[in-house]
Amino acid sequence: MHTLTGAYATDALGPQERAAFERHLQGCDTCRQEVAELSATTARLAEATAAPVPEGLRERVLGQVARTRQLAPAHSVVDLAQRRGRSWTRQPVTAAAAALLVVAIGLGGLVAVTEHRASQAETTAARIAAVAADPDHVQRSAQIRSGGTGTVLSAHGVAVFHADGLPELPRGRAYQLWRISGQESHSAGVLGRGGALTGVVTDVGPGDLIGLTVEPSVGSEAPTTDPVFVVSAA
């Protein structure tokens, strides 16, 4: 029950799990405090990225609704409902998954300088949330050789890497994420110089590894240093 605080604060629990956790909250001061702190953080993220509704949006939406034919539900909708109804107890919501859901909320609300950056943030947020909330995701964690802890959550060909406590690198250096397939390494992007970092890796196949190296801040086409973190993606 203690691992469900993040999922509860971000409304990621099903009805049965939510009811059970609320009963647990009545007798657990630690979880009540943690839920309060996580809820406050989520609210601050929303307030910091809130933007006014564009003028004329309501009229445009109503006008489009009037011209759009409503389709009958497809058979796949039934399958989706059955999938979403599965109990989260098959794969408990870990602290790492809950933290990634909060990261996804923050990214999804970003007001970027350009439309392209906003679209990238929304896509990344959607991928993180989908993997973190998937009851069948696989989780691997390991200590990072330079310091800190790294966790990889993966599901359906997408892996999300999240690190905490990474030592700050000097200027001109940065941590770079990789998908390692056999003898080939494919860059998944430069993440930053340290602290808490998150990255998304796509096209993950059976036997692939997720690795982290220290590279020039502009990134490298191939790793130039030994990995400080490597785990299997499945």
pLDDT in tens, 35-47: 888 877 777 776 6
Q: What is this structure's pTM?
A: 0.54
Question: Can you list the positions of beta strands (E) in 73-183?
Answer: 138-143, 149-155, 158-166, 173-181
Reply yes or no on whether the pLDDT at 59 is more than 50: yes
Q: Could you report the per-residue pLDDT of 109-132, keeping only the tens digit for each?
A: 444 444 445 556 667 777 787 887
Q: Which CATH number does the domain housing residue 148 bear?
A: 2.60.40
For the chain, the domain total comes to 2
Q: Specify the pLDDT at position 67.
A: 66
Residues 101, 17 share a domain: yes
User: Quick one: how far is CA 192 from the chain centroid?
Assistant: 17
Confidence of residue 4 (pLDDT cuts 50, 70, 90): confident
Average pLDDT over the chain, rounded to whole?
A: 77
Q: Which of 4-8, 96-100, 137-141, 189-193 has the highest mean pLDDT?
A: 189-193
Percent of the residues in the chain that have a pLDDT greater than 90, as a whole number: 26
- Given a contact cutoff of 8 angstroms between Cβ atoms, the answer to whether 118 and 124 are in contact is no
Mean pLDDT of 206-233: 94
Q: Could you report the per-residue pLDDT of 77-115, keeping only the tens digit for each?
A: 444 334 444 433 334 445 556 666 555 555 554 444 444
Question: Can you list the positions of beta strands (E) in the chain?
Answer: 138-143, 149-155, 158-166, 173-181, 184-192, 195-201, 209-216, 229-232
Which comes out higher in pLDDT, residue 109 or 19?
Answer: 19
Last residue of a domain, one of 108, 134, 160: 134
Asked whether residue 78 is domain-assigned, the answer is: no
Residues 110, 4 share a domain: yes
Residues 109, 156 share a domain: no
Q: Could you report the per-residue pLDDT of 175-217, keeping only the tens digit for each?
A: 999 999 999 999 999 989 998 888 899 999 999 999 999 999 9
Q: Specify the pLDDT at position 80.
A: 35
Q: Specify the pLDDT at position 99.
A: 61
Residues 198, 106 share a domain: no
- Which of 162, 178, 170, 164 shows the shortest CA–CA distance to 227? 178
User: What amino acid occupies position 159?
Assistant: A
Confidence of residue 64 (pLDDT cuts 50, 70, 90): confident
Residue 40's domain comprises: 1-48+91-134
| Across 30-44, 60-74, 162-176, least confident range | 60-74
Asked whether residue 23 is domain-assigned, the answer is: yes
Which comes out higher in pLDDT, residue 62 or 106?
Answer: 62
Residues 216, 173 share a domain: yes
Q: Specify the pLDDT at position 3.
A: 80
Q: Strands 138-143 and 149-155, how do they pair?
A: antiparallel
Last residue of a domain, one of 134, 169, 192: 134
- Given a contact cutoff of 8 angstroms between Cβ atoms, the answer to whether 212 and 227 are in contact is yes
Asked whether residue 86 is domain-assigned, the answer is: no
Asked whether residue 152 is domain-assigned, the answer is: yes
Which comes out higher in pLDDT, residue 225 or 48?
Answer: 225
Residues 97, 209 share a domain: no
Residues 109, 41 share a domain: yes
